[in-house]
Structures are given as structure tokens and as C-alpha cells.
Amino acid sequence: MPQKILFVEPSAPGLHIFTKFAIPRLGSLLLATIVQQKGYTCDVVIEDIKPLSLTMLKEFDLVAISTITPTAPRAYAIADKCREANIPTIIGGPHATFCADEALNHTDYVIRGEAEEALTRFLDAISSGRDIRGIPNLSYRHNGVTVHNPMLPCISDLDSLPHPDFRLIRGGMKNILKGTIIPVQTSRGCPYDCTFCSVTAMFGHKYRFFSTNYVIEELLRHNEKPGSFIFFYDDHFTANRKRTYELLEKMLLNNIRMKWSAQVRADVARDKELVKLMKRAGCQTLFIGFESINPESLTNMNKRQTMLEIEHSIQVLQENKIAIHGMFVFGFDEDTPDTCGATIKFARKHNLDSVQFLLLTPFPGTHLYNQFERENRILFRDWGLYDAHHVTFQPKNFSPFDLQLMQIKGHKKFYSRIRLMRHLLTFKLEQSVINIYAHRLNKVWKKINKPYIKLINLINKSKDFKISANIQHIIDLDKENASNEAI
């Protein structure tokens, strides 16, 4: 009967622009808060904040691991190590939801989809010795047969969930430049259904949101902490305009002084008054998935956005002095070297504050993954490469090597020394710091990924042979543990 439960959020193997900005995903933290309120003793380890110690695992009766696709190999390695020590494990999160059979090769149980209700029922059942066959969302193996219990509908009353208790994180929240980035979620789900995104498969098409009072309560918990900065984790912060107005006005009324950022679509700029209100309420940066400036790509990815909307949004946000982090994706079937080159020029011409040029990635649970599986276009199965910074499939109009070079070129050109000098000469300190950081990161990424780059270059150069290859990150927890204990 478990009494002490460790929740683990594994670290991802790759580097990206947010590597140094460790923000916990809220799933593990919220589940730990719920379970703690049920009388269990819980800790949360966010590996990007505090390394996981193997001796730490032995303190607990059950280890619950949450994983997205790029952290899956490490999640499995942790579960395997627990299995060696006879510590039961349960894995959840998006990747385990869509690859439950695979996850069960490493763990005792999997919870698919939203886990708040399912996990508490599971713990109640195993604590009292009851049968687990009726536990919703649960996957397990019984007498060698894999069982997937039926799924519950997504939670309709999000206010029934407690506020996450950040005190459960071992090592506390990571400070960045004397401040702390605090994640806050105000909604779940997305009314859109882009072909490369798994949000709707995980959280549904229906846009569900916490009440305004609930969100204000959460924000007030952090409002007096010096240096606090809020990142709204919503996949689409302004999907419901009426509700967004209400929330922002309440933030002003309650004197919420923290600066914040959020993820939105380009269509946020259709409502200029809303943008002005966002600025007044403390909005500093908006993360926008522009994805592409190629109209054909936008249509076929089901983005439901136009080039005019993209340009209009940049103009309106810059007029209101809201920073823009633009995210673009290379590798759609309609993309060519010319369209990707034009995208890089577009980002530089419009003077975006920061960008990510990402590589199309067939994440399990997406329409894209199913399409590429049917077409036999997936090249690599090491989930650690599925971080949108590695080519993992056979593109239509590029070799894998040339597509990878296009992404590297995009970051090199955007975060160039010339651009850095312009920022310094105009006293734009924040943009200068980002430019230096991103420029260096691009170099470090290439150095770390030399074996991968050599492999896809070999595939590219072969004229007389069809080369089928595999590449995997090596995860040696014993070696890591020895190194951490020596420090």
C-alpha cells in the first residue's frame, strides 16, 4: 500500500532556446497536490531544476512519471531502474496516452488522458486491495494480456481542481535573473485542430476554462513575491474573447502587478482594444505560432490563418509595444528551399523580438504521425529526437540533411552578429542578451549533434544505396548518479 509517492518530470535530452528557462509543466505538480490532500506524502522532482538521485527513488513506495514525447526515453529509463529496485511505477502524459502499449514495456501502469480523477481512484483501489478493472483511463497487463480501460470524458469543472502547491517541488522554483517564472493555466483544450498538434487529441476540441475568480486567486498567491513573472500555459490564451476581457479587467482591478506572457494565435490582433487591454494588464511577450508564410502550407496544416493576418498581428502588437516570439515550422510537403528562405527573410524584415525555426515533427497522437506512418516516411524512432529540432522523417522537397541545414541557417541568420550590433547601438539590452544566448546555443547544438548530422548527411550523399539507420541517445542513470554524487 503506497504512502509515499514521488512524481517525476524527466528532462529532455536536447538543447533549445528555452533550455535555461526551467518551467515545470503543471500536470505532475497538480496531481501531487491532489494526492497530498488525500493524505499521501508527495514530492515532485523536475529534473530541469534538480537532478534525480537513484537513492531518492528508494525513499518512495510508488513513482509516478509524466512524459511528453522527447522525454519518453528518459522516463522509460527511470521506470526500468525502479523496476530493478522493485518500486512500482505509473506513467502518464501525452506520449504515454498515445503509446500506452510501448510504455507498458517499462512500467506497471499507464494512465491515459487527463489523470486527476483516474489517479485518485487508482490509489484508492490499490490502497484498499480493490480490483483495478473498473479504474477509468488505466492501462496495464494482466496474465500477459494488455488491458485498456475505457476513458472518462475530460473534466468539465476545472474549478474543482486545487491550486498547484509549488512547495512540493524539490529544490524549489528555479530563479532566472533574480526572478521566478511561474506557470499558470487558465484553460484546457483548443477549438482548432492543426495536423501537427496533439493538443486536441489529449485535451479535446472544447475550450474549457477555469473561472476568472479561480485564476485571480492563483495570481494573488504570487503577486507579492519580488521578481515573479507569469507564463500562461494555455495553448490559446485568447480563444474566448469575452472571457479574456473579463480576466484582464479583473487583473487590473485586483492590482496584479506581475508582467506576463502567453501563447496566442495571429488573429488576436483582430481586436485592437483587446491588445491594448493586454498591454495595460502587464503583457510583455506573446508567443505566436505563425508556422509558415506559405499559403499552401497554412491551408494543408489546417491552421485557418492567412499571410495578411500574420502581418497585421505583427504590426498591431509592435504598435502596442508587446514583444513577439515568432514560431515557424519547416518541412511541410508544400515547403521548398525558396519558401523556407523567404520565411527567414520575413522574420528578419519584420524585426521580431525572437524566433524559433522549428522542424515539422510527427508526434504520436497527431494526424501527421498517422499520415507519415501510412506513407512509411518516418526515419528515426528515438523519441529523444522528437523535439522539433531534428529531422525525423523523409521530407518531400528536401533531403533530411538539407532540411536540417535550413533550420540551422535560419537561426544563424536571425541571431546574427549584425543584428546584435543593431540592438546594442539602440540600447535594446534584452534583445541583445537573447541574441547572444541564441547565437551561442546554435553553435553548441551543432557540436553536440555531430553524430546525428553526420548520419543524415550520409543518407543524403548515398546515390547507389538505400540506407536505413538508427540512432539513439544513450541514457546511463548509474553513471549520471555517480557524477552527481561526486559534485
Q: What's the gap between Cα 466 and its chain centre?
A: 34
Mean pLDDT for 67-87 is 95
Fill in the amino acid letter for 185: Q
Question: What is the predicted pLDDT for the residue at 477?
Answer: 81
- Reported as a pLDDT band with limits 50, 70 and 90, residue 200 is confident
Would you kindly state where each structural domain of the chain is located, as residue ranges? 4-155, 168-461
- Reported as a pLDDT band with limits 50, 70 and 90, residue 80 is very high
**Residues facing 328 on adjacent strands:** 291, 357
Residue 405 sits at φ, ψ, to 5 deg, of -65, -35
Share of the chain above pLDDT 70, in %: 93
Please report which helix (H) or strand (E) contains residue 322, including its range: none
10 Å CB burial of residue 185 (0-12, 13-18, 19+) is buried
CATH architecture, range 168-461: Alpha-Beta Barrel (3.20)
End-to-end alpha-carbon separation of the chain, Å? 35
* 322 pLDDT above the threshold of 50: yes
Of 72 and 420, the structure prediction assigns the larger pLDDT to: 72
* 29 pLDDT above the threshold of 90: yes
CB 282 within 8 A of CB 256: yes
Question: What is the predicted pLDDT for the residue at 262?
Answer: 97
Lowest mean pLDDT among 57-66, 67-76, 125-134: 125-134
Dump pLDDT digits (tens) for 145-185. Answer: 999 999 999 999 999 999 999 999 987 776 554 568 899 99
Of 192 and 64, the structure prediction assigns the larger pLDDT to: 64
CATH topology of domain 4-155: Rossmann fold (3.40.50)
Which DSSP state fits 378?
B
Of 50 and 280, the structure prediction assigns the larger pLDDT to: 280
Question: What is the predicted pLDDT for the residue at 16?
Answer: 62
Lowest mean pLDDT among 147-151, 173-177, 351-355, 470-474: 173-177
Written as nine digits, the cell of 389 is 529540432
CA distances for 105 relative to 77, 179, 333, 357, angstroms: 11, 41, 34, 34
CB 119 within 8 A of CB 5: no
Dump pLDDT digits (tens) for 388-435. Answer: 999 999 999 999 999 999 999 999 999 988 888 887 887 777 888 888
* 327 pLDDT above the threshold of 90: yes
Dump pLDDT digits (tens) for 242-264. Answer: 999 999 999 999 999 999 999 99
223 in helix, strand or coil? coil
Question: What is the predicted pLDDT for the residue at 465?
Answer: 59
CA distances for 222 relative to 23, 24, 168, 183, angstroms: 15, 16, 16, 11
Alpha-carbon torsion (25, 174, 280, 218), positive or negative: positive
* 486 pLDDT above the threshold of 90: no
Fill in the amino acid letter for 41: T
* 128 pLDDT above the threshold of 60: yes
* The model's pTM: 0.93
Which DSSP state fits 12?
P
Lowest mean pLDDT among 84-88, 343-347, 354-358, 422-426: 422-426
